[in-house]
Structure 1
Protein backbone atom coordinates (compact mmCIF):
# COMPACT_ATOMS: atom_id res chain seq x y z
CA UNK A 1 0.00 0.00 0.00
CA UNK A 2 2.81 2.42 0.90
CA UNK A 3 4.43 1.70 -2.45
CA UNK A 4 1.23 2.64 -4.31
CA UNK A 5 0.85 5.87 -2.32
CA UNK A 6 4.52 6.66 -2.92
CA UNK A 7 4.06 6.07 -6.64
CA UNK A 8 1.01 8.34 -6.75
CA UNK A 9 2.88 11.04 -4.82
CA UNK A 10 5.84 10.78 -7.21
CA UNK A 11 3.51 11.02 -10.20
CA UNK A 12 1.80 14.12 -8.76
CA UNK A 13 5.18 15.71 -8.00
CA UNK A 14 6.35 15.02 -11.55
CA UNK A 15 3.19 16.55 -13.03
CA UNK A 16 3.60 19.63 -10.81
CA UNK A 17 7.17 19.95 -12.07
CA UNK A 18 5.95 19.78 -15.68
CA UNK A 19 3.28 22.43 -15.03
CA UNK A 20 5.81 24.72 -13.33
CA UNK A 21 8.24 24.28 -16.23
CA UNK A 22 5.51 25.04 -18.77
CA UNK A 23 4.50 28.14 -16.79
CA UNK A 24 8.12 29.33 -16.72
CA UNK A 25 8.40 28.79 -20.48
CA UNK A 26 5.16 30.69 -21.07
CA UNK A 27 6.26 33.60 -18.88
CA UNK A 28 9.62 33.71 -20.63
CA UNK A 29 7.94 33.55 -24.03
CA UNK A 30 5.62 36.45 -23.16
CA UNK A 31 8.51 38.66 -22.02
CA UNK A 32 10.60 37.74 -25.06
CA UNK A 33 7.68 38.27 -27.42
CA UNK A 34 7.11 41.77 -26.04
CA UNK A 35 10.75 42.65 -26.80
CA UNK A 36 10.43 41.09 -30.27
CA UNK A 37 7.35 43.23 -30.98
CA UNK A 38 9.18 46.37 -29.85
CA UNK A 39 12.20 45.68 -32.07
CA UNK A 40 10.06 44.64 -35.03
CA UNK A 41 7.78 47.64 -34.53
CA UNK A 42 10.71 50.01 -34.47
CA UNK A 43 12.23 48.57 -37.65
CA UNK A 44 8.84 48.76 -39.39
CA UNK A 45 8.28 52.31 -38.17
CA UNK A 46 11.60 53.46 -39.60
CA UNK A 47 10.87 51.64 -42.86
CA UNK A 48 7.37 53.01 -43.38
CA UNK A 49 7.86 56.59 -42.22
CA UNK A 50 9.44 59.37 -44.24
CA UNK A 51 10.10 61.18 -40.97
CA UNK A 52 10.14 58.65 -38.12
CA UNK A 53 9.01 59.97 -34.76
CA UNK A 54 12.26 59.61 -32.84
CA UNK A 55 10.56 60.45 -29.58
CA UNK A 56 7.46 58.49 -30.48
CA UNK A 57 6.05 55.29 -29.09
CA UNK A 58 7.99 52.85 -31.32
CA UNK A 59 11.35 54.45 -30.49
CA UNK A 60 10.65 54.66 -26.76
CA UNK A 61 9.46 51.05 -26.50
CA UNK A 62 12.52 49.90 -28.43
CA UNK A 63 14.97 51.87 -26.29
CA UNK A 64 13.26 51.00 -23.01
CA UNK A 65 13.59 47.28 -23.79
CA UNK A 66 17.39 47.42 -24.02
CA UNK A 67 18.04 46.56 -20.39
CA UNK A 68 15.99 43.36 -20.66
CA UNK A 69 17.34 42.12 -23.99
CA UNK A 70 20.63 40.69 -22.81
CA UNK A 71 19.00 38.93 -19.84
CA UNK A 72 16.20 37.41 -21.90
CA UNK A 73 18.11 36.61 -25.10
CA UNK A 74 21.84 36.84 -24.50
CA UNK A 75 24.67 39.01 -25.76
CA UNK A 76 24.21 38.27 -29.46
CA UNK A 77 20.71 39.74 -29.64
CA UNK A 78 21.62 42.56 -27.28
CA UNK A 79 24.42 43.47 -29.72
CA UNK A 80 21.98 43.25 -32.63
CA UNK A 81 19.59 45.64 -30.88
CA UNK A 82 22.54 47.92 -30.14
CA UNK A 83 23.40 47.88 -33.84
CA UNK A 84 19.81 48.78 -34.69
CA UNK A 85 19.84 51.57 -32.12
CA UNK A 86 23.06 52.97 -33.58
CA UNK A 87 21.65 52.79 -37.12
CA UNK A 88 18.45 54.50 -35.99
CA UNK A 89 20.40 57.23 -34.27
CA UNK A 90 22.41 57.83 -37.46
CA UNK A 91 19.17 58.20 -39.42
CA UNK A 92 17.92 60.59 -36.77
CA UNK A 93 21.10 62.65 -37.16
CA UNK A 94 20.73 62.76 -40.95
CA UNK A 95 17.08 63.75 -40.62
CA UNK A 96 17.86 66.54 -38.15
CA UNK A 97 20.64 67.86 -40.38
CA UNK A 98 18.27 67.93 -43.33
CA UNK A 99 15.58 69.72 -41.32
CA UNK A 100 18.09 72.37 -40.25
CA UNK A 101 18.94 72.80 -43.95
CA UNK A 102 15.35 73.51 -45.09
CA UNK A 103 14.62 69.84 -45.64
CA UNK A 104 17.56 69.26 -47.98
CA UNK A 105 19.90 66.43 -47.07
CA UNK A 106 23.61 67.08 -47.24
CA UNK A 107 25.18 65.28 -50.23
CA UNK A 108 27.61 63.39 -48.00
CA UNK A 109 24.69 61.96 -45.98
CA UNK A 110 22.56 60.74 -48.90
CA UNK A 111 24.31 57.44 -49.61
CA UNK A 112 24.63 56.40 -45.97
CA UNK A 113 21.00 57.37 -45.31
CA UNK A 114 19.94 55.22 -48.26
CA UNK A 115 22.05 52.24 -47.10
CA UNK A 116 20.63 52.48 -43.59
CA UNK A 117 17.08 52.55 -44.92
CA UNK A 118 17.82 49.45 -47.03
CA UNK A 119 19.22 47.77 -43.92
CA UNK A 120 16.09 48.67 -41.93
CA UNK A 121 13.97 47.32 -44.78
CA UNK A 122 15.77 43.97 -44.62
CA UNK A 123 15.46 43.87 -40.84
CA UNK A 124 11.75 44.72 -40.88
CA UNK A 125 10.97 42.12 -43.53
CA UNK A 126 13.18 39.22 -42.47
CA UNK A 127 16.03 40.04 -40.11
CA UNK A 128 14.20 40.61 -36.85
CA UNK A 129 12.08 37.47 -37.23
CA UNK A 130 15.12 35.38 -38.17
CA UNK A 131 17.17 36.62 -35.23
CA UNK A 132 14.43 36.26 -32.64
CA UNK A 133 12.79 33.16 -34.12
CA UNK A 134 14.92 30.57 -32.37
CA UNK A 135 13.99 32.06 -29.00
CA UNK A 136 10.27 32.15 -29.77
CA UNK A 137 9.94 28.66 -31.24
CA UNK A 138 7.42 26.43 -29.46
CA UNK A 139 9.06 23.33 -30.93
CA UNK A 140 11.90 23.73 -28.44
CA UNK A 141 9.45 23.27 -25.58
CA UNK A 142 8.58 19.70 -26.51
Structure 2
Protein backbone atom coordinates (compact mmCIF):
# COMPACT_ATOMS: atom_id res chain seq x y z
CA UNK A 1 0.00 0.00 0.00
CA UNK A 2 1.08 3.36 -0.88
CA UNK A 3 1.15 5.99 1.82
CA UNK A 4 0.13 9.50 0.93
CA UNK A 5 1.53 12.35 2.95
CA UNK A 6 -1.04 14.37 4.82
CA UNK A 7 -1.70 17.85 3.57
CA UNK A 8 0.43 20.53 5.16
CA UNK A 9 -2.52 22.15 7.00
CA UNK A 10 -3.47 18.85 8.59
CA UNK A 11 0.11 18.30 9.73
CA UNK A 12 0.14 21.74 11.37
CA UNK A 13 -3.22 21.03 13.04
CA UNK A 14 -1.85 17.72 14.36
CA UNK A 15 1.25 19.41 15.71
CA UNK A 16 -0.51 22.42 17.26
CA UNK A 17 -3.79 20.74 18.24
CA UNK A 18 -2.82 19.78 21.80
CA UNK A 19 -1.28 23.21 22.36
CA UNK A 20 -4.39 24.98 21.10
CA UNK A 21 -6.61 22.83 23.32
CA UNK A 22 -4.35 23.51 26.31
CA UNK A 23 -4.42 27.26 25.58
CA UNK A 24 -8.22 27.21 25.28
CA UNK A 25 -8.48 25.33 28.60
CA UNK A 26 -6.11 27.87 30.20
CA UNK A 27 -8.18 30.81 28.94
CA UNK A 28 -11.43 29.25 30.14
CA UNK A 29 -9.88 28.51 33.55
CA UNK A 30 -8.50 32.06 33.77
CA UNK A 31 -11.93 33.49 32.93
CA UNK A 32 -13.63 31.46 35.67
CA UNK A 33 -10.91 32.38 38.18
CA UNK A 34 -11.38 36.07 37.34
CA UNK A 35 -15.16 35.76 37.72
CA UNK A 36 -14.74 34.08 41.12
CA UNK A 37 -12.36 36.82 42.23
CA UNK A 38 -14.77 39.48 40.99
CA UNK A 39 -17.69 37.83 42.79
CA UNK A 40 -15.67 37.53 46.01
CA UNK A 41 -14.69 41.22 45.80
CA UNK A 42 -18.32 42.25 45.26
CA UNK A 43 -19.42 40.04 48.17
CA UNK A 44 -16.81 41.67 50.40
CA UNK A 45 -18.07 45.12 49.40
CA UNK A 46 -21.65 44.11 50.15
CA UNK A 47 -20.70 42.59 53.53
CA UNK A 48 -18.80 45.75 54.45
CA UNK A 49 -21.74 47.89 53.36
CA UNK A 50 -24.13 45.78 55.48
CA UNK A 51 -21.93 46.20 58.56
CA UNK A 52 -21.52 49.92 58.02
CA UNK A 53 -25.23 50.40 57.42
CA UNK A 54 -26.07 48.58 60.66
CA UNK A 55 -23.75 50.96 62.56
CA UNK A 56 -25.28 53.92 60.73
CA UNK A 57 -28.79 52.86 61.80
CA UNK A 58 -27.73 52.45 65.46
CA UNK A 59 -26.07 55.87 65.47
CA UNK A 60 -28.99 57.57 63.68
CA UNK A 61 -31.48 56.07 66.17
CA UNK A 62 -29.27 57.25 69.04
CA UNK A 63 -29.21 60.81 67.70
CA UNK A 64 -32.95 60.82 67.02
CA UNK A 65 -33.68 59.64 70.56
CA UNK A 66 -31.39 62.26 72.11
CA UNK A 67 -32.99 64.99 70.01
CA UNK A 68 -36.55 63.81 70.75
CA UNK A 69 -36.00 63.55 74.51
CA UNK A 70 -33.54 66.42 74.92
CA UNK A 71 -31.38 63.98 76.88
CA UNK A 72 -29.42 60.77 76.51
CA UNK A 73 -31.14 58.15 78.64
CA UNK A 74 -29.35 55.16 80.14
CA UNK A 75 -31.18 52.99 77.62
CA UNK A 76 -29.99 55.21 74.74
CA UNK A 77 -26.40 54.98 75.88
CA UNK A 78 -26.60 51.22 76.44
CA UNK A 79 -28.01 50.67 72.96
CA UNK A 80 -25.36 52.97 71.53
CA UNK A 81 -22.47 51.16 73.23
CA UNK A 82 -23.79 47.71 72.34
CA UNK A 83 -24.62 48.65 68.78
CA UNK A 84 -21.40 50.51 67.98
CA UNK A 85 -18.92 47.91 69.24
CA UNK A 86 -16.31 47.45 66.53
CA UNK A 87 -17.42 50.39 64.38
CA UNK A 88 -13.96 51.96 64.57
CA UNK A 89 -12.65 49.03 62.50
CA UNK A 90 -14.94 49.59 59.51
CA UNK A 91 -15.03 53.40 59.30
CA UNK A 92 -12.36 55.93 58.53
CA UNK A 93 -11.01 58.43 61.06
CA UNK A 94 -13.44 61.20 60.04
CA UNK A 95 -16.56 59.13 60.74
CA UNK A 96 -15.12 57.66 63.95
CA UNK A 97 -14.27 61.13 65.27
CA UNK A 98 -17.73 62.42 64.33
CA UNK A 99 -19.44 59.55 66.17
CA UNK A 100 -17.19 60.03 69.20
CA UNK A 101 -17.84 63.78 69.24
CA UNK A 102 -21.62 63.32 69.25
CA UNK A 103 -21.40 60.58 71.90
CA UNK A 104 -19.32 62.78 74.21
CA UNK A 105 -21.72 65.68 73.83
CA UNK A 106 -24.69 63.38 74.49
CA UNK A 107 -23.03 62.12 77.69
CA UNK A 108 -22.23 65.72 78.68
CA UNK A 109 -25.85 66.64 77.99
CA UNK A 110 -26.95 63.82 80.27
CA UNK A 111 -24.62 64.97 83.06
CA UNK A 112 -25.69 68.61 82.78
CA UNK A 113 -29.37 67.61 82.77
CA UNK A 114 -28.83 65.66 86.03
CA UNK A 115 -27.14 68.71 87.57
CA UNK A 116 -29.93 70.98 86.30
CA UNK A 117 -32.53 68.79 88.01
CA UNK A 118 -30.88 69.48 91.38
CA UNK A 119 -30.39 73.26 91.08
CA UNK A 120 -32.98 75.45 92.75
CA UNK A 121 -31.20 78.80 92.52
CA UNK A 122 -32.65 80.92 89.72
CA UNK A 123 -29.41 82.40 88.37
CA UNK A 124 -27.36 79.17 88.60
CA UNK A 125 -30.25 77.23 87.11
CA UNK A 126 -30.53 79.68 84.21
CA UNK A 127 -26.78 79.36 83.49
CA UNK A 128 -26.99 75.57 83.58
CA UNK A 129 -30.09 75.62 81.37
CA UNK A 130 -28.15 77.73 78.87
CA UNK A 131 -25.31 75.17 78.89
CA UNK A 132 -27.77 72.31 78.40
CA UNK A 133 -29.45 74.19 75.59
CA UNK A 134 -26.12 74.91 73.89
CA UNK A 135 -25.06 71.25 74.03
CA UNK A 136 -28.46 70.09 72.81
CA UNK A 137 -28.39 72.54 69.89
CA UNK A 138 -24.91 71.39 68.87
CA UNK A 139 -26.17 67.80 68.67
CA UNK A 140 -29.34 68.90 66.88
CA UNK A 141 -27.29 70.93 64.37
CA UNK A 142 -25.11 67.88 63.66
CA UNK A 143 -28.06 65.68 62.69
CA UNK A 144 -28.32 67.03 59.10
CA UNK A 145 -24.61 66.20 58.67
CA UNK A 146 -25.19 62.56 59.59
CA UNK A 147 -25.74 61.21 56.08
CA UNK A 148 -23.03 63.43 54.63
CA UNK A 149 -20.47 62.13 57.14
CA UNK A 150 -21.37 58.49 56.49
CA UNK A 151 -21.96 58.79 52.71
CA UNK A 152 -18.32 58.41 51.65
CA UNK A 153 -17.97 55.20 53.64
CA UNK A 154 -21.30 53.84 52.42
CA UNK A 155 -20.62 54.28 48.68
CA UNK A 156 -20.29 50.80 47.18
CA UNK A 157 -18.22 52.08 44.28
CA UNK A 158 -15.48 53.51 46.51
CA UNK A 159 -15.07 50.44 48.74
* Deviation per residue, 1:56-95 (Å, 9 max, x gap): 1x42232234542221112222222211111011110122
Q: Return the alpha-carbon distance in structure 2 between the equivalents of residues 20 and 116 of structure 1.
A: 45
Conservation of the 8 A alpha-carbon contact between 2:45 and 2:156: no
Q: Which runs of 5+ in 2 are unaligned?
A: 1-20
Q: Match for 1:20 among 29, 33, 40?
A: 40
- Give the alignment of 1:1-142 within 5 angstroms: 1-52=21-72, 54-56=73-75, 58-101=76-119, 106-124=125-143, 126-140=144-158
Q: Which has the higher contact order (CA 8 A, sep 6+)?
A: 1
Instruction: Give me the TM-score of the superposition, normalised by structure 1.
Output: 0.84
* SS of 1:81 mapped into structure 2: helix
Once the two structures are overlaid, the 10-residue window that deviates more, 2-11 or 60-69, is 60-69
Q: What is the CA-CA distance between 1:46 and the residue it aligns to?
A: 0.8
Instruction: Give me the TM-score of the superposition, normalised by structure 2.
Output: 0.76
Aligned length: 137
Alpha-carbon spacing, 1:111–1:99, altered in 2? closer, same or farther (3 Å): closer
Q: What is the CA-CA distance between 1:100 and the residue it aligns to?
A: 3.0
Bigger Rg over Cα: 2
Q: Which runs of 5+ in 1 are unaligned?
A: none
Alpha-carbon spacing, 1:50–1:67, altered in 2? closer, same or farther (3 Å): closer
